[in-house]
Amino acid sequence: MGFPLSQQNEMSALTLLALCNLKKNDSWVDVSKISLGVSNGIMGFAKEHYKIRYAPNTRETFRRNVLHQFVQGGLAVYNPDNPNLPVNSPKAHYSISNEALNLLKYFNSQKWDEKLTEYLKNKGTLIKKYEKERYFKKIPLTISGKKIFLSPGNHNVLQKDILTEFAPRFIKQGVLLYLGDTEEKNLYINAELLSKFNIPIDKHSKLPDVVIYDKSNGWLFLIEAVTSHGPMSPKRIIEIEKLLKKCKLGKVFVTAFPDFKTFTKYSRNLAWETEVWLAEAKDHMIHFNGDKFFGPR
CATH code where residue 43 lies: 1.10.10.1820
**152 and 275 co-located in one domain:** yes
Task: Say how many residues make up the chain.
Answer: 297
Q: What is the structure's pLDDT at 271?
A: 93
Final residue before a domain boundary, out of 120, 136, 152: 136
CATH code where residue 263 lies: 3.40.1350.80
- Quote the percentage of the chain above a pLDDT of 90: 57
Is residue 294 in some structural domain?
no
**71 and 173 co-located in one domain:** no
Is residue 297 in some structural domain?
no
pLDDT tens column, 234-275: 999 999 999 999 999 999 999 999 999 999 999 999 999 899
Q: Are 274 and 294 in contact (CB under 8 A)?
A: no
Other C-beta atoms within 10 Å of 11: how many? 18
Final residue before a domain boundary, out of 118, 136, 154: 136
Task: Determine the Cα–Cα distance for residues 227 and 230; give it in Å rounded to an integer.
Answer: 8
**166 and 264 co-located in one domain:** yes
**143 and 161 co-located in one domain:** yes
pLDDT tens column, 176-200: 999 877 555 657 888 899 999 999 8
**20 and 158 co-located in one domain:** no
Is residue 293 in some structural domain?
no
Beta bridge pairs of residue 276: 255, 286
Is residue 26 in some structural domain?
yes
Q: What is the structure's pLDDT at 182?
A: 58
- Nearest CA among 3, 20, 18, 139 for reference residue 72: 3
**31 and 154 co-located in one domain:** no
Task: Determine the Cα–Cα distance for residues 245 and 242; give it in Å rounded to an integer.
Answer: 5
pLDDT tens column, 129-147: 655 555 555 555 666 666 7
Q: pLDDT at residue 64 above 80?
A: yes
Beta bridge pairs of residue 275: 254, 287
121 burial class (0-12, 13-18, 19+ CB within 10 angstroms)? Answer: exposed
Characterize 267-282 residue by residue with b for buried, 16 or more Cβ atoms within 10 angstroms of its Cβ, and e for exposed: eebbbeebbbbbbeee
Task: Determine the Cα–Cα distance for residues 68 and 274; give it in Å rounded to an integer.
Answer: 39
Other C-beta atoms within 10 Å of 45: how many? 21
Q: How far is CA 79 from its chain centroid?
A: 12
DSSP code per residue over 138-181:
SEEEEETTEEEEEPSSHHHHHHHHIIIIIHHHH-TTEEEEEE--
Is residue 296 in some structural domain?
no
Other C-beta atoms within 10 Å of 187: how many? 19
**223 and 121 co-located in one domain:** no
Q: Give the chain's domain count.
A: 2
Higher pLDDT, 90 or 137: 90
**153 and 205 co-located in one domain:** yes
Task: Determine the Cα–Cα distance for residues 5 and 217; give it in Å rounded to an integer.
Answer: 58
**269 and 143 co-located in one domain:** yes
Is residue 73 in some structural domain?
yes
**79 and 121 co-located in one domain:** yes
**112 and 158 co-located in one domain:** no
Final residue before a domain boundary, out of 82, 114, 136: 136
Q: What residues make up the domain containing 168?
A: 139-288
**197 and 233 co-located in one domain:** yes
Question: Taking residues 204-219, what's their average pLDDT?
Answer: 87
Q: What is the structure's pLDDT at 8?
A: 86
